[in-house]
Structure 1
Amino acid sequence: MSDLSDLESTTLTHRLVLLGVAELSGRDAVPAHAGEVVSTCVDRVDEVEGDILGRVSEADVARALNQLEDAGLVERADVGDTSAVGKGRPAYVLPMGTDALCDTLADDARLAALVERVRTVYEQES
């Protein structure tokens, strides 16, 4: 289980990526391949209020995933993927619960709409 106090030092892009993995988790699409996380983040960036300038790149998300993994805020999953689609791409899961993540990030007004979306997706699947 990750120490949620580490979230205090995350950037807005890191938080977007964490919520992207959380949304995929709510859809039972985890472990989530990096490409799926990129797609989710690109689709949701307009819901973030703040200093992300219009879009987030694949490189931004990949860099954030690596940094979040180093901080213990996401974990790389061994998926044993044999399909051509996901082959060779890392896949990620949250070591903390989606509710705990959303509760911690709910205080960030820039992410209010996205946190609410993740909670809604998560509740629909539960």
Structure 2
Amino acid sequence: MTGADIDGVDPFHRFVLLSVIDLRARDDVPVHSFDVTGVCEDLLDEFDDLDGMVPGGVTRQRVINALSELESADLLGEKRKESPTGKGRPAYALDIAEDEVLDHLEDDDRFGDAVERIRDRRE
């Protein structure tokens, strides 16, 4: 993975990718769109710098679209995970080096504080 891979997606997609990494730090992988949506909302509540990236707010449909596009860009891998009711639902796992993503996003002032919090959680 290179910084160019991440630079190829817009800030909202980077924000969703950061949320996937945050879930991974909690050992909650592979992730579902509803979990990622919740983390996105939590990050927006906690970090004011992220608000400008999400005009119109976070919706589950926007997150679903972003996850699919990140998978198409080879930044995430799609997995199948069965729900307790037996339905197969798409789930996603990071297909790239997490530390490289965090290093790259840390250089962006909008993500710096969130990256620091995620790194602290991993320790």
TM category, shorter: 0.7 to 0.9
Identity of aligned residues (%): 38
Structure 1 unmatched runs, 5+: none
* CA 66–120 in structure 1, closer or farther in 2 if over 3 Å, else same: same
Deviation at 1:98, TM superposition (A): 2.0
Aligned equivalent of 1:83: 84
RMSD: 1.9
Q: Which has the higher contact order (CA 8 A, sep 6+)?
A: 1
- Structure 2 distance, partners of 1:109, 1:54, is 21
TM-score, normalization: structure 1? 0.84
Moved over 4 A (4+): none
Does 2:26 correspond to 1:27?
A: yes
SS in 1 for 2:28: coil
| Superposed CA offset, 1:28-52 (max 9, x none) | 0001111111111122124215332
Structure 2 unmatched runs, 5+: none
Count the aligned residue pairs: 120
TM-score, normalization: structure 2? 0.86
**Contact 1:25-1:122 at 8 Å conserved across structures:** no
**Contact 1:78-1:91 at 8 Å conserved across structures:** yes
Which structure: greater strand fraction?
2
- Structure 2 distance, partners of 1:43, 1:104, is 22
Aligned equivalent of 2:65: 63
